[in-house]
């Protein structure tokens, strides 16, 4: 069994790194065409990822309009979501070798002053991010103008694949901290030094987050952004980096979120985390097909999958 597990790990490693090498070296239009073809083909597997992506889109549209979308419109949007994810993978593979001037040319930002003012205050900035578009492109752009971002990444297996992902993020101009017991201390140190921390926080990986209402249902989101900002005095903002229009990227940065103390610490963390959830709803509604969420994200998702497995 150990030998079989090692073989699977090697296959996984070479699949990811080989695909990334192809996407990096192929002419850009060909890389996008191949990735989009593979992504659309994956829809027909009808596995967990496709079920969750479709269910999440249905939930977002229902919350926005008050009614379930018609099945055909939902299919079209699901295909667009997979094509958007293909673009994310192509750009992620190519970003480590993309010239800085090209990154800069293809980026424009709404609300940049909110980030600049937060950084100039000297107490650091916590940037709360959903899995929309290409946050790495935004991080690479910020590094190019002197705002180096530290982010957190979930540990992956096999180990060599995780180390490869870290090396790719480093080449993009990002510093990555592993999601473990030492992450909080590293992030606090970064903020107290006036640095920038970016946290993807639209999914509760650890399972000990704060309960919020998110698209009309109760779920949990990580407490990290609110907790870090309140403990360090850092400015807390939310941000989304959309892919498009065309070859460009478009970031939206919110005004500072109020992190003032009004009561018990946990109550204030819950209040701020709920505000982040409201920001994320607004970002996702703007381009639901660009929300790269393929995992169960609400208790009802997990209950449905359990019923499916037992039935």
Percent of the chain with pLDDT over 70: 98
Tell how far CA 86 is from the center of its chain. 15
Higher-pLDDT residue of 209, 181:
209
pTM exceeding 0.75: yes
Burial 34-67 (b: 16+ CB within 10 A, else e): bbbeebeeebeeeeebbbbbbbbbbbbbeeeeee
Residues in the chain: 311
Pairwise CA distance, residues 56 & 282, whole Å: 15
CA nearest neighbour of 273 among 230, 216, 233: 230
Q: pLDDT tens digits for 250-264?
A: 999 999 999 999 999
E strands present in 93-166: 107-110, 125-129, 149-153
CA nearest neighbour of 296 among 223, 205, 216, 225: 205
271 exposed, middle or buried (CB, 10 Å; 0-12, 13-18, 19+)? middle
E strands present in the chain: 107-110, 125-129, 149-153, 174-178, 196-200, 210-214, 217-221, 235-243, 249-253
CA nearest neighbour of 243 among 83, 34, 28: 83
Average pLDDT over residues 279-307: 94
Percent of the chain with pLDDT over 90: 78
Q: pLDDT tens digits for 152-164?
A: 988 878 888 889 9
Average pLDDT over residues 260-286: 97
What is the 8-class DSSP label of residue 181?
A: T
Pairwise CA distance, residues 57 & 69, whole Å: 9
Q: pLDDT tens digits for 81-112?
A: 999 999 999 999 999 999 999 999 999 999 99
Higher-pLDDT residue of 311, 298:
298
Kindly give, in sequence order, each residue whose CB lies less than 8 Å from that of residue 91, ignoring residues fewer than 6 positions away.
134, 136, 137, 243
Burial 137-173 (b: 16+ CB within 10 A, else e): bbbbbbbbeebebbbbbeebebeebbebbbebbeebb
Domain count of the fold of the chain: 1
pLDDT confidence tier of residue 311, bands split at 50, 70 and 90: low
DSSP 3-state of 283: helix
Higher-pLDDT residue of 115, 182:
115
Q: β-strand 210-214 against 174-178: which pairing, if any?
A: unpaired
Contact of 144 with 256, CB cutoff 8 Å = no
Q: Which range marks the domain in which residue 96 is found?
A: 2-310
For 99, phi then psi, to 5°, come to -55, 145
């Amino acid at each position: 069994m150990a030998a079989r597990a090692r073989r699977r790990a090697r296959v996984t490693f070479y699949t990811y790194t080989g695909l990334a090498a192809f996407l990096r070296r192929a002419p850009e239009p060909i890389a996008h065409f191949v990735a989009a073809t593979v992504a659309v083909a994956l829809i027909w597997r009808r596995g967990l990822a496709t079920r969750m992506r479709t269910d999440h889109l249905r939930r977002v549209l229902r919350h926005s309009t008050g009614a379930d979308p018609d099945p055909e419109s939902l299919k079209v949007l699901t295909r667009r979501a997979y094509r958007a994810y293909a673009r994310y993978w192509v750009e992620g593979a190519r970003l480590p070798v993309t010239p800085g001037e090209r990154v800069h040319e293809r980026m424009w930002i709404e609300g940049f002053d909110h980030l600049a003012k937060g950084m100039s205050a000297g107490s650091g900035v916590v940037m709360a991010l959903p899995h929309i578009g290409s946050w790495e492109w935004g991080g690479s752009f910020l590094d190019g103008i002197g705002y180096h971002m530290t982010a957190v990444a979930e540990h992956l297996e096999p180990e060599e694949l995780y180390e490869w992902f870290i090396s790719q993020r480093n080449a993009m101009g990002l510093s990555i901290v592993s999601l473990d017991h030492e992450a909080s201390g590293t992030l606090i140190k970064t903020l107290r030094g006036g640095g920038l921390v970016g946290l993807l926080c639209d999914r509760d990986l650890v399972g000990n987050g704060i309960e919020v209402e998110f698209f009309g249902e109760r779920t949990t989101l990580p407490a990290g952004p609110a907790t870090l900002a309140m403990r360090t005095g850092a400015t807390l903002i939310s941000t989304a980096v959309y892919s498009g229009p065309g070859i460009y990227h478009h970031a939206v940065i919110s005004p500072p979120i109020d992190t003032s103390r009004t009561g018990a610490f946990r109550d204030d963390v819950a209040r701020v985390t709920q505000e982040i959830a409201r920001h994320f709803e607004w970002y996702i509604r703007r381009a639901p097909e660009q929300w790269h969420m393929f995992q169960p994200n609400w208790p009802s998702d997990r209950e449905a999958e359990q019923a499916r497995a037992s039935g």
